[in-house]
Amino acid sequence: MAMRVEAIVAGAGPAGSLAAMLLARRGWQVLLVDRGPAGRRKTCGHCLGPRAVPLLRRHGLLAAVQAIAEGFTRRLSVRADGRRLIDTPIDLDSSSVKERGGGLVVDRRRLDPLLQEAAVAAGVEYVCPGVVVEPRLGDSLGSGVRVNVRTPGRAIAVEARLLVAADGVGSGVARALGWANAACAGRRFGVSFQCAGETVPTSALPPGTVSMRLRKEGYLGLVRQNDWVHAAALLRPGVELEPALRAFASDAEWLPSPTRGCSSLAGTGPLPWHATRMAAAGCALVGDAAGYAEPFTGEGMTWALESAELLVGAIPERASERRFDTTAAARYVERWQATIGAGQRRCRWLAQALDRPWLIAGVAAACRGFPPLAGQLVRSVVCA
């Protein structure tokens, strides 16, 4: 079976669904394909950061996302080896960042379908389950790209002007195009799970607080999500899941671990991940597929949404120029580097700092001596 569309999007996470929706709203004929299964678990902390709020509003999605939100984030508390380092609002009130406020807690099993439905409502054709494989690029003017889409029971040869690879960390499309090598992936792994909310005292984890706990094994983030406590952790190289979670749980007896009645365990990695190339005529990587640093700042979904916006913004609006040529590709890469790339570099420095306990202890002492510093730090890291 063969098919011709204007754009094919591989992956219907936040990046792929928003890119598909924005292209369709520009009048493009778009095919969005996800490996599935529908309603899959996704390794994520479920915290949609403050910068995502105005972005969703810009595209008319905020009210729908707020309607499915199961909590909010207004405060950040960081502890190292059980000792308090930072406890500060992320509910910002300076005029330049006023609109951003805090963030939302949104379950990925509800957010991703919501964004997929918004894409379909904009006219996108959605295929799930389906896997995009064997991408082949056309000429430097963006004349076209070919891929195969494998679905249960049929294979579709698809020709398009633009292939958007939104297939997440370790992007199969990037690897098939030769845009990644062994050095592109780090050696850390992420996990997420949840436990019943009543097992965690409200005094230890009040609603609206993101609690980050640092240890030599990695870090664990906790947030209340309706009747649940949702947890996500990053494990340092060579650290195994069960011992790491036992180590976290040794900080406080109420801390959740999968061995104590927790559910919905999901994992991903290795992290960090980045591609050696991000765009060419006829093809671009968005979201985690382009690069993902660390979950500490909780920006992954925001970067994913921002990259989709940057990609579509890099394409001329006139219907006669409806293609992704080398100029559009260069424009996208330049804007990505200046914004998301800068954010990911900042996140990587932070991750390196977290690996140095003496530095963390120094920052904590400075924050205790001058409390406004903690707020400034959070502002510059989470809201920059």
The nearest distance, CB 372 to ligand FAD, in angstroms, is: 26
Count CA within 13 A, CB hemisphere, residue 226. 6
**DSSP calls for 155-177:** EEEEEESEEEE---TT-HHHHHT
The nearest distance, CB 288 to ligand FAD, in angstroms, is: 4
Please identify, using beta-carbon distances, which residue of 49 and 325 lies nearer to ligand FAD: 49
Count CA within 13 A, CB hemisphere, residue 257. 17
User: Which of left, alpha, beta for 255 (phi over 0: left; psi -120 to 50: alpha)?
Assistant: beta
User: Cβ contacts of residue 75 below 8 Å, gap of 6+?
Assistant: 87, 88, 89, 90, 91, 102, 206, 208, 209, 210
The nearest distance, CB 219 to ligand FAD, in angstroms, is: 9
Count CA within 13 A, CB hemisphere, residue 64. 14
Which spans of this chain sit near ligand FAD (rule: CB under 6 A)? 10-16, 33-35, 42-49, 131-132, 166-168, 172, 190, 192, 232, 234, 268, 287-289, 292, 295, 298-302, 304
Integer Rg of the chain from CA: 21
The nearest distance, CB 192 to ligand FAD, in angstroms, is: 5
The nearest distance, CB 9 to ligand FAD, in angstroms, is: 9
Please identify, using beta-carbon distances, which residue of 110 and 327 lies nearer to ligand FAD: 110
Please identify, using beta-carbon distances, which residue of 168 and 375 lies nearer to ligand FAD: 168
Please identify, using beta-carbon distances, which residue of 11 and 375 lies nearer to ligand FAD: 11
What's the distance, CA 349 to chain centroid?
Answer: 18
Closest CA to 345 of 309, 381, 369, 298: 381
Contact between 253 and 201 (Cβ < 8 Å) = no
Please identify, using beta-carbon distances, which residue of 45 and 71 lies nearer to ligand FAD: 45
Cis peptide before 89 (omega within 30 of 0): no
The nearest distance, CB 271 to ligand FAD, in angstroms, is: 6
Please identify, using beta-carbon distances, which residue of 284 and 322 lies nearer to ligand FAD: 284
* Residue in the block written with tokens 């989470």: 382
The nearest distance, CB 12 to ligand FAD, in angstroms, is: 6
Q: Is 74 exposed, middle or buried (0-12, 13-18, 19+ CB in 10 A)?
A: middle
What's the distance, CA 11 to chain centroid?
Answer: 13
Please identify, using beta-carbon distances, which residue of 300 and 341 lies nearer to ligand FAD: 300
The nearest distance, CB 107 to ligand FAD, in angstroms, is: 11
The nearest distance, CB 232 to ligand FAD, in angstroms, is: 4
Please identify, using beta-carbon distances, which residue of 71 and 300 lies nearer to ligand FAD: 300
Q: How many CB atoms are located within 10 Å of the residue 187 CB?
A: 13
Please identify, using beta-carbon distances, which residue of 90 and 322 lies nearer to ligand FAD: 90
